[in-house]
Structure 1
Amino acid sequence: MVDDLRLGIGLGYWQARPADDTAAVQTAESLGYDSVWVGEAYGSDALTPLTWYAARTSRIGLGTSICQIDARTPANAAMAAMTLDALSGGRLRLGLGVSGPQIVEGWYGRPFPKPLARTREYVEILRAAWAREAPLRHDGEFYPLPHPGGAGLGKPLRLITEPLRPDIPVYLGAQGPKNVELALEVADGWLPAFVHIESFDAMYGDLVARARPGFDIVATVNTFVDDDLRAAFRRAKQPLAWYVGGMGAKGANFHLDAVTRAGFGDVAHEVQDLFLAGRRDEAVDAIPDELVDGTSLIGPPGRIRERLQLWRDSPVGTVVLMELRDETAMKALAAEVGL
């Protein structure tokens, strides 16, 4: 249990059209929301929109959920994070993740195996680059520095600019037990997705009990503020069907695995089968209310306030309200929960 649950807003990534959510971010800052989080898949990137919002705000925290590690070399990620953190006055929280084999191999043209070892090396290089204690060397399997081949002229280099903060917070997006263990070991925080709050203790309690003081758990939660509860449930089932059914290959879908660990394995596989067969409406209908209610915040502001108590009673420090862009809904929810 945390003393004071923080609320952020999550903007995801652009869909078919570019989107400027400056008004929503400025409203969130004025109302006292803790942070804004932006992700990436294979469309808009995470860092550029955050830089845009940083220039138009002054206090709200800026988080990536997530930056894909294969999108950038670790040295490039260290440079980009250092730059945005400095320009924003030290507001960045750098969330990282491996994504999945479809994107890593299909979009970035990189091999997916050994994601845990790759992530560990990546974080090591980030921290060494920001610390600037010596010219950067790394003897790892995946990111050797200097490169051992090529022209043979590579030399260890030190980051030119002294970071505003040499300890920029690093968060890892993780769902499986081994990934969560790695986050607890090497990161400052953990970004779980599709957490079923009523199953949180059974799924992660033993792991989280070993977390060091100050370790920050930031859960992204699909949020649908709507007085029509039935309609809100239907809307909330749609992204679940997409991620469980279609975001990943059959046998390699980490979202499906997380839902399975929450106790909904039969449902998850039924949803995936329907989705991959092109029966997407049926996939949405197959998701039970109990699953969507445990992984989302749904309904009128008063109901959401009541459901938030489950999160207040958990080790989660921040709940990121995904896709909460409507200013009227943001204001109503802020008033209800007392931001």
Structure 2
Amino acid sequence: MTADLKLGLQLGYWASKPPEYDWVGLARYAEDLGFDSVWTAESWGSDVFTPLAYLAVSTSRIRLGTGIAQMAARTPTATAMSAITLDHLSGGRVILGLGLSGPQVVEGWYGRPYPKPLARTREYVEVIRKVLRRETVTNDGEFYPLPYQGPDSSGLGKPLRTNLRPLRKDLPIILGAEGPKNVALTAEIADGWLPLYYVPERPEVYADQIAGAKDGFEITAMVHLAFTGAAQDDIEQALWPIKGALAFYVGGMGAKGANFHKNLMVRMGYEAEADHIQELFLDGKRDEAVMAVPTAFADEISLVGPPERIKERLVAWRESPVTTLLVTAREEETLRGLADLVL
């Protein structure tokens, strides 16, 4: 159970161009309201670190999270360099969120192999921890050998340690994970977890995987937030954005036999619906795929409705192991409304 929920603002990644709304002003406003963190993301466009560096100058207290930095995009030492640099620039406010993405992105965009994702994640985190401890970094692992000694090696590589002293050796590392084995690994090696979809009324979905997490383990759950009228039509209208996102992730973010988002929806009890959404989406019937997303599922992972309804829904979140609600709202009045209820 979480005694005091924290709030985070997820700004996400940029679409076809930089945001037209005042994203920097929104982050400042969230900080003034008492939000604990602000997050950015990356897919195959804007990167995750540069906007946070901009926000580091524009804010003073709010923590800065990468949600997520894709591991295939950078070697672990390069990721550590970015995190250490940003931590200095921000006065120790970085939360390093990492994730693998899926094989379509890893191999299609970054040109890196995807197999053995769990072993790859463990090794990646181990190397970053060594850098943060300012050790002379060596690694004889399968994926990130240091020094490199492959058949095309010059043989001149030497073990190094960062010449920029990390501001914090214990800079928090959290992982975005969905599959049961990946979540269990996260509880074992990370300081926190970023679930994409979390339903507080269904704790059994992940209870076994996070049972062994250490003290202070943070769970930062993303949730769609919208204040509406009390009518059911108002609530359902406000759920359309999350339905659109669910249709894209469940239907198209991955191949037919390798879609972790779809698999998660199945584990949450919506197998037939997930199969139908994916079938429609892959057949090019995207509008129909959105319409096929169950309102109940979209509602379970959201906070939508009048203030009294959201206040009632918050009871389940407070009774869950979630420590931070990561909201995707873009309006100051919406952030203020949630802060009034939570903080």
Under TM normalisation by the shorter chain, which class is it? over 0.9
Q: How does 1:229-244 map to 2 (within 5 A)?
A: 229-244=235-250
Deviates more, 1:124-133 or 1:326-335: 326-335
Q: Give the counterpart of 1:285 among 277, 287, 291.
A: 291
Aligned residue in 2 for 1:158: 161
Structure 1 residue 9, shift from structure 2 partner: 1.0
Distance in 1, Cα, partners of 2:5 & 2:55? 23
Q: Give the counterpart of 2:282 among 261, 276, 283.
A: 276
Report if aligned partners of 1:98, 1:115 keep a CA contact under 8 Å in 2: yes
| Paired residue secondary structure (1:172) | strand
Structure 1 residue 264, shift from structure 2 partner: 0.6
Residue 67 (structure 2) pairs with residue 65 (structure 1): yes
| Paired residue secondary structure (1:12) | coil
Aligned residue in 2 for 1:96: 98
Structure 1 residue 213, shift from structure 2 partner: 1.1
Aligned residue in 2 for 1:144: 145
Sequence identity (%): 55
Aligned residue in 1 for 2:8: 8
- The one-letter code of the counterpart of 2:336 is K
Distance in 2, Cα, partners of 1:235 & 1:158? 46
Distance in 2, Cα, partners of 1:294 & 1:266? 17
- The one-letter code of the counterpart of 1:9 is L
What is the CA deviation profile of residues 60-96 of structure 1, one whole-angstrom value per residue up to 9, with x for unaligned ones? 1111110000000111001000010111111111000
Residue 311 (structure 2) pairs with residue 309 (structure 1): no
Aligned residue in 2 for 1:126: 128
| Paired residue secondary structure (2:8) | strand
- The one-letter code of the counterpart of 2:260 is F
Structure 1 residue 233, shift from structure 2 partner: 2.2
Distance in 2, Cα, partners of 1:287 & 1:43? 27
Residue 306 (structure 2) pairs with residue 297 (structure 1): no
What is the CA deviation profile of residues 154-206 of structure 1, one whole-angstrom value per residue up to 9, with x for unaligned ones? 0001100111101110001111110011111111011111122222x221112
Q: How does 1:317-336 map to 2 (within 5 A)?
A: 317-322=323-328, 324-335=329-340
Report if aligned partners of 2:96, 2:171 keep a CA contact under 8 Å in 1: yes
Aligned residue in 1 for 2:208: 206
What is the CA deviation profile of residues 272-322 of structure 1, one whole-angstrom value per residue up to 9, with x for unaligned ones? 111111111211111112111111111233322221221111001111012
Distance in 1, Cα, partners of 2:338 & 2:76? 38
Aligned residue in 1 for 2:55: 53
- The one-letter code of the counterpart of 1:18 is P
- The one-letter code of the counterpart of 1:223 is L
CA-based RMSD: 1.2
Report if aligned partners of 1:224, 1:236 keep a CA contact under 8 Å in 2: no
TM-score (norm 1): 0.96
- The one-letter code of the counterpart of 1:68 is Q
Aligned residue in 2 for 1:181: 184
Distance in 2, Cα, partners of 1:209 & 1:153? 45
Distance in 2, Cα, partners of 1:138 & 1:170? 19
> Aligned residue pairs: how many?
335
Report if aligned partners of 1:66, 1:173 keep a CA contact under 8 Å in 2: yes
Runs of 4+ in 1 over 3 A off after TM superposition: none
Structure 1 residue 338, shift from structure 2 partner: 4.6
TM-score (norm 2): 0.95
Aligned residue in 2 for 1:107: 109
Report if aligned partners of 2:118, 2:182 keep a CA contact under 8 Å in 1: yes
Structure 1 residue 325, shift from structure 2 partner: 1.4
| Paired residue secondary structure (1:128) | helix
- The one-letter code of the counterpart of 1:38 is T
Distance in 2, Cα, partners of 1:44 & 1:220? 20
Aligned residue in 2 for 1:260: 266
Aligned residue in 2 for 1:245: 251
Structure 1 residue 241, shift from structure 2 partner: 1.0
- The one-letter code of the counterpart of 1:246 is G
Report if aligned partners of 2:188, 2:212 keep a CA contact under 8 Å in 1: no
Report if aligned partners of 1:7, 1:34 keep a CA contact under 8 Å in 2: yes
